[in-house]
Amino acid sequence: LRVTFTPVHRRDKGTTGTIAVLEDVTEQEKLEQSRREFVANVSHELRTPLTTIRSYAEALDDGALDERQLADRFVSVIRNETERMIRLVTDLLHLSRFDSNQVPLRRRATSVPELLEEAADRFAFQTSQKGIRTEVYIDDAVGTVWLDRDGIDQVLDNLISNAIKYTLDGGVIVLSARKPETNALAISVRDSGIGIPKKDLGRIFDRFYRVDKARSRNMGGTGLGLSIAREIVRAHGGTITLESELNEGTTVTFTLPAPDIREGGEPA
């Protein structure tokens, strides 16, 4: 609560009283606080790869360049850190477009079975490298839905890449689609991975929030994947939830409004 006092003057009588204004500033303060936190996070996240790059470049300069094997390793660290920074800046750009409502959805009639099969295919190489099995289940009622294909592909990519990152070798990932009610579509990405502790579940969609910062970084994560997924789902008028059991696995489900498609491909 902010209180401002303004003295009231009258030319003939001098100060005659005071006006007190009470304002509720909690919302405003909260916004300001989260903006400050965000800027601090961004600066920190960008600084970390930059300092790594600088120190490896210095080491190369100081003689490592003459030892072939060492030089190769250092150059590959520099490349990885650069890639991560590019991903981070791309993610930030995405988020800032959402924040300023600059992302018009381009909805078109999209076959959901095709959507999920193709998403699974994009990750076939990564999953086979970790010996992870991928299963796809589509309920009979699920067919073609009106959605922004690029946006939902991005949601699926973020969720599936997390499922792979946080699942140990030999695990299983299940993609499924169903219609919880007539005009809705629910898509889930379930993994048999490491899971998330209960105490972290409340903040897991926050920008830059990670259960284990060091591990997420080593995996190439930016801490923005889930926040971006949530923005895209919200832009569709949908919701996204995450359930997890430590050491058992995680399920992320997003539900989209999905009116039936008419003959011509337009929603009914």
Distance CA 55, CA 52 (A): 5
* Residue of 52, 162, 192, 255 interacting with ligand ADP (CB under 6 A): 162
- Give CA torsion, residues 36, 38, 41, 42, to 10 deg: -110
Of 59 and 172, which has the nearer Cβ to ligand ADP? 172
* Residue 147 binds ligand ADP (CB under 6 A): no
* Residue of 204, 235, 243, 267 interacting with ligand ADP (CB under 6 A): 204
Per-residue contact string for residues 11-50; x = within reach of ligand ADP by CB under 6 A: ----------------------------------------
Inter-residue long-range contacts of 240-245, CB under 8 Å, 24+ positions, other chains counted: 240/155, 240/205, 242/196, 242/201, 242/204, 242/205, 244/195, 244/196, 244/201, 245/195
The CA distances from residue 155 to 1, 6, 34, 115, in Å, are 39, 52, 24, 12
* Sign of the CA dihedral with 87 first, then 148, 192, and 174 last: negative
Q: Which stretch binds ligand ADP (CB under 6 A): 10-18, 106-114, 120-128, 210-218?
A: 210-218
Q: Which stretch binds ligand ADP (CB under 6 A): 93-101, 111-119, 135-143, 158-166?
A: 158-166
Distance CA 74, CA 261 (A): 54
* Residue 171 binds ligand ADP (CB under 6 A): no
Distance CA 107, CA 150 (A): 9
* Residue 134 binds ligand ADP (CB under 6 A): no
* Residue of 134, 188, 250, 253 interacting with ligand ADP (CB under 6 A): 250
* Residue 84 binds ligand ADP (CB under 6 A): no
Backbone phi and psi for residue 243, each to the nearest 5 degrees, phi listed first = -120, 140
Q: Which stretch binds ligand ADP (CB under 6 A): 56-64, 99-107, 134-142, 207-215?
A: 207-215
The distance of closest approach from Cβ of residue 244 to ligand ADP in the complex, given in angstroms and rounded to an integer, is 6
* Residue 210 binds ligand ADP (CB under 6 A): yes
Q: How far apart are the first and last CA of the chain?
A: 49
Binding stretches for ligand ADP (CB under 6 A): 158, 162-163, 166, 191, 193-196, 204, 209-212, 216, 221-227, 250
